[in-house]
Chain A
Amino acid sequence: MEVTWIGVLIKAIIILAVISAIAGFGTYIERKVLAFMQRRLGPMHVGPYGLLQIAADGIKLFTKEDIVPQNANAFIFKIAPVITAATAFIALSAVPVFPDFTIPSWIPVLGGTFVPSIASDLNIGVLFVLGMMAAGLYGPLLAGMSQANKWGIIGAARTAVQFLSYEVVTGLSILAPIMLVGSLSFVDFNAYQAGGIGDWLVWKQPVAFVLFLIAGFAETNRTPFDLLEHEAEVVSGYATEYSGMRWGMFFIGEYANMITVSVIAAVVFLGGYDAAGTLGWLFIMAKIAFFFFLMLWVRAAWPHVRPDQLMWLCWKVLMPLAVVNIVITALVMMV
């Protein structure tokens, strides 16, 4: 099927709408999952089982007063949340989310349009997504530096530290699967593992898989590594002075990034979407949902780490492991 610009546009709108909605719903799921793991009930009062809590939160975020602190650099302060949200969605444009489909022909204007699985099928998709997610950290960095608040600047300093620590591990851990597949395209990763569960890269690259997951947690600021806005230490880090929808945009960006990391992990290591089978799209949704759940699970199970522990972990443990993994992979491929 030919990909037209209308198809790409529809895909982009679908990604924006659905992922933003999932980001809102993700907060509800996160609170529920954490609550059940801690033997609480979580949100229960708004709607059945607290399901309408998202609407209540949304109304609260939209109607809150938008405050810009007096001594802050107002322009940078205002664009920082947009950077986080925008880069998160740009990264999503190059990963396969949801299956291909053709709009049925009885729908008046758009009938017969083919909507692709990947909005923009770059042949260097993996690198592009990682680069865009890295650019997303400018959001917290600029937010922290522009707000004339000491907690903010500590949050910004921690952003830089965290970025410089995990970025090497992400790149090196995903390099070994790239060497095996011999391509940077998500489509090729999917094709390489098309033979079923036995062909999944996680069996050939277990070390790379674990390293990538750990680095992914650091990349999305999830709990063992959420140094940037560690409530117990630095009030709220980079988000201290933010309120209302600007604060909400940081969180939409964070949840979108969680989904992106889940998609990368599912496609690169867990077989991706099975193109031949009819239920491939269902399986990739299940895999993405599993990784999303894993992030919540880890948050309930593990305490925070200190910044020096993060640096120690990334530079002294994970990076050497990743390099050894690459050397062994290269030797096995050569022989």
Chain B
Amino acid sequence: MYEMIAFYLFSALTIGLFMVTVMSKNVLYAMTSLASAMVLISGFFFILGADFLGVVQLIVYVGAIMALYSFAMMFFDATRDIKEKNTNNALVFLLGGLSALVLVLIFAAPIHSDAIHALYPIHEGAGNAQDVGIVLFTKYLVPFEVAAVMLLVAMIAGIILAGKKMDHSLTKDLDADDEILVVKDRK
């Protein structure tokens, strides 16, 4: 009973908030509704009894959307509306509608729930985090390790891209001071 109320509440709120994310022309509204919808999604995990995944959803998306916010802060004036440039409204409608349809089909497929068996049922007595760990380090070991290597590669690439001139300081660089002085002299 409580679970059903919670489920419908979370569903309505999540769908509504994602609608705001897509429809709104204000960066601040879009980002905030995205963040709160992501937090609400963790509610579904809690209802299903997957506490660990719920908290992971919370932590990961709070951090990820915080990074998105910082981009929004750099590129837009957050208090004004943005003029969107849609060259072809029909195309946008068609592509959006098609991808929505595909997603609905994918997620409606398990409607034949008789055909679904839990390959790795939860262990009695073991906690949620332990179960996730068991599956990660047995069945999904290779994808897990590949994902880890991929993240490492991305991190090293990021450091190399950002760190080209890391060895000389912007504030203590004498050449930089000279350049500023030269510009001043020209004026």
Contact A134–B62 (Cβ < 8 Å)? yes
Return chain A residues, CB-CB under 8 Å to B129: 123-124, 184
Q: Is the CB of A127 within 8 A of B26?
A: no
Are A131 and B62 within 8 A (Cβ)? yes
Q: Using Cβ atoms and an 8 Å threshold, which residues of chain B touch A157?
A: 70, 73
- Docked Cα-Cα span, A131 to B43, in Å, equals 13
Is A164's CB under 8 angstroms from B63's CB? yes
A128: contacting residue among B29, B55, B70, B127, CB under 8 A: B55
Considering the complex, which residues of chain B in the window 18-35 have a beta carbon less than 8 Å from any beta carbon of chain A? 26, 28-29, 32, 35
- Give the interface SS of chain B, mostly helix, strand, loop or mixed: helix
Q: B66 is contacted by which of A123, A127, A148, A164 (Cβ under 8 Å)?
A: A164
Q: Which of A134, A138, A160 contacts B73 (CB 8 A)?
A: A160
User: If the complex has contacts A156-B73, A160-B70, A160-B73, are A142 and B28 also in contact, measured as CB distance less than 8 A?
Assistant: yes
If the complex has contacts A123-B128, A124-B55, are A167 and B73 also in contact, measured as CB distance less than 8 A? no
Within 8 A of B (CB), among A87-146: 122-124, 127-128, 130-132, 134-135, 137-138, 141-142, 145-146
Residue A327 is within 8 A (CB to CB) of chain B in the complex: no
B99 sits at the interface (CB 8 A): no
Q: Is the CB of A153 within 8 A of B51?
A: no
What sequence of 0s and 1s flags, for each residue 238-263 of chain A, a beta carbon within 8 Å of any chain B beta carbon? Answer: 00000000000000000000000000
Q: Interface size for chain B: under 10, 10 to 19, 20 to 34, or 35 or more residues?
A: 20 to 34
A163 to B63, CA, bound (A): 8
Could you tell me if A164 and B67 are in contact, using CB atoms closer than 8 angstroms? yes
Quick check: B73 and A145 within 8 Å, CB to CB? yes
Q: A282 interface residue, CB < 8 Å from B?
A: no
Interface presence of B58 (CB below 8 A): yes
The reply to whether the CB of A72 lies closer than 8 angstroms to some CB of chain B is: yes
Across the interface, do A71 and B59 meet the contact criterion of CB distance under 8 Å? no
Q: Is B7 close to A, CB under 8 A?
A: no
Q: Are A160 and B62 in contact (CB under 8 A)?
A: no
Say whether A122 contacts B26, CB under 8 Å. no
Task: Known A71-B79, A146-B78, A160-B67; judge A153-B55 contact (CB<8 A).
Answer: no
Contact yes or no, B58 A76, CB < 8 A: no
Interface of chain B residues 103 through 153 with chain A (CB within 8 A): 127-129
Q: B32 contacts which chain A residues (CB < 8 A)?
A: 76, 138, 142
> What chain A residues lie within 8 Å of B127 (beta carbons)?
123-124, 183-184
Query: What is the number of contacts between chain A and chain B, taking CB atoms within 8 Å?
Result: 83
Chain B residue nearest in CB terms to A144 = B73
Task: Tell me the bound Cα distance from A184 to B69 in angstroms.
Answer: 30
Is B52 in the interface zone, CB < 8 Å from A? Answer: yes
Whole-angstrom CA separation of A123 from B54 in the bound complex: 12
Pick from A71, A73, A75, A124: contact of B51, CB under 8 Å: A124
A131 and B78 contact, Cβ closer than 8 Å, known pairs A160-B66, A163-B63: no
Set A122, A130, A137: member contacting B59, Cβ < 8 A: A130
B39 at the interface (CB under 8 A from A): yes
**A127 and B59 in contact, given A122-B51, A146-B78, A164-B67 (Cβ under 8 angstroms):** yes
CA distance A137 to B128 in the complex (A): 27
Identify B28's interface contact among A128, A137, A145, A183, CB under 8 A: A145
Q: What does the 1/0 interface line of B29-64 toward A look like (CB < 8 Å)? A: 100100100010000000000011001101100110
Q: Which of B51, B63, B72 contacts A134 (CB 8 A)?
A: B63
User: Given the complex, which residues of B lie within 8 Å of A145, measured CB to CB?
Assistant: 28, 69, 72-73, 78-79
Could you tell me the distance in whole angstroms from the C-beta of B48 to the nearest C-beta in chain A?
14
Contact residues of B with A, CB < 8 Å? 26, 28-29, 32, 35, 39, 51-52, 55-56, 58-59, 62-63, 66-67, 69-70, 72-73, 78-79, 127-129
A-B contact pairs, 19 of them (CB 8 A): A71-B79, A72-B79, A73-B26, A73-B28, A73-B29, A75-B29, A76-B29, A76-B32, A122-B51, A123-B128, A127-B52, A128-B51, A131-B58, A134-B62, A135-B39, A138-B32, A141-B66, A156-B73, A160-B66
Chain A contact residues, CB within 8 Å of chain B:
71-73, 75-76, 122-124, 127-128, 130-132, 134-135, 137-138, 141-142, 145-146, 148, 153, 156-157, 160-161, 163-164, 167, 171, 183-184
